[in-house]
Copies of this chain bind each other. A is one copy, B any other.
Amino acid sequence: MSDAYGEIAAIETIRRGLPQPPDGQIWIGDDAAVVVGPAGEPLLLAADTIVEGVHFDFGLVDAADVGWKSLAVNVSDIAAMGGQPLHALVTVVGARAGVIDGLVRGLAEASAAYECAVVGGDLSSGPCLVVSVAITGTMAGREPILRSKAQPGDVLYVTGPLGRSAAGLRALRAEVGRGGKAPAEPGAPAFSDLTAAYRRPAARLSEGLAASTAGATAMIDVSDGLGIDLDRLATASGVGVVIDAVPTAEGATRDDALSGGEDYELVFAARDPGEVARAFQAAGLAQPIRIGVCVLDPAVRREGAKLLKASGWQHRLS
């Protein structure tokens, strides 16, 4: 769905048309589903798709970038539950000659980076290139961190400044517009931090685990933009949110950070700032950025005294 209303309506149609989960399971509506595996243990499941012309353009990225991103965005969904990825299934529709090699290279790199085995999938011809990944994950004995358990008074954090992906995309477009060729490989000098953030987004697995250790009450990955993803967390939790400022990366604009999406940083709520600081330090990670607090009135969405708009990409079901 390209418009917010269409997507929300479609997801509601899907939700209403299908049975609801039993107690203790999460189906549609969080970063990943939490189901019961064959041995009775919690199993995480998620799926995320990238489509040529919607999520990427071969004038700006290469096939290895697409392969990397298709897996990394799914790992991010597992990270946002505080889980660890196990296996991925990769479906490729409409790959033209020469695309498969690059896709597989990028997939293999992400698979190694996140220790997530690609164990199967499907291959089909088709009129457009679609790379669809489904992922499994484990909580390894921890409780899944849902979107829905933030409490008034909880402090809100983000694992890094936002807008890098949107700024990177703009830089790539400008370069191509000037007649430059998009750099072919991540190691190339022109492959700046910002364009890397767009072409090779990192899934914040270690940060998700540290947030879990710190007792995070709710968590979501910033796939569609801070505005919309923070709104999702607040809505699911039935709390309001007040942030001090939009944490904006160097080289990015406030709008990139608020609405650009595809940053894949994690936003989480936690009760005890001391625990958060200790957990991230113990894991050898950069401290997360404190952005605000959860408040009692569930209607509140504020940046200081201003209204915080829930704008950004909307195209996700789970």
Interface residues of A (CB under 8 A from B): 1-2, 7, 10-11, 13-14, 17-19, 21, 25, 27-28, 32-33, 35, 37-43, 45-51, 53-55, 86-87, 89-91, 93-95, 100-101, 104-105, 107-108, 111-112, 117-128, 130, 132, 134, 136, 138-140, 315-318
For the complex, what is the distance from the CA of A19 to the CA of B111, rounded to whole Å? 9
- Extra contacts, 15 of them, besides A19-B108, A38-B42 (Cβ < 8 A), are A1-B124, A18-B111, A32-B120, A37-B37, A39-B41, A43-B136, A45-B120, A45-B134, A51-B124, A91-B132, A91-B134, A123-B316, A125-B315, A128-B130, A134-B134
Smallest CB–CB gap between A54 and chain B, Å?
6
Docked-complex contact B100 and A14, CB < 8 angstroms: yes
Residue of B11, B122, B125, B316 touching A47 (CB-CB under 8 A): B122
Structural contact, B91 and A49, CB atoms closer than 8 A: yes
**What separation, in Å, do the CA atoms of A54 and B125 have in the docked complex?**
7
**Number of this chain's copies in the complex:** 2
Docked Cα-Cα span, A279 to B130, in Å, equals 42
Q: How far is the CA of A36 from the CA of B249 in the complex (A)?
A: 40
Q: Report 21 cross-chain contacts, Cβ distance below 8 Å, ordered by A residue.
A: A1-B125, A10-B123, A27-B120, A28-B120, A28-B121, A33-B87, A35-B86, A37-B39, A38-B43, A38-B138, A38-B139, A38-B140, A39-B39, A43-B87, A45-B87, A45-B136, A51-B125, A54-B126, A120-B318, A127-B128, A130-B130
- Which residue from chain B places its CB closest to the CB of A11 in the assembled complex? B123
With contact pairs A41-B38, A108-B19, A127-B127 given, residues A49 and B122 touching in the complex (Cβ less than 8 Å): yes
Q: If A43-B37, A93-B130 touch, does A121 touch B317 (CB 8 Å cutoff)?
A: yes
8 Å CB contact of A120 from B2, B46, B140: B46
B123:A317 contact, CB within 8 angstroms: yes
- Measured CB to CB, the nearest residue on chain B to A48 is B122
Closest B residue to A40 by beta carbon equals B39
Whether A49 contacts B132 by the Cβ 8 Å rule is yes
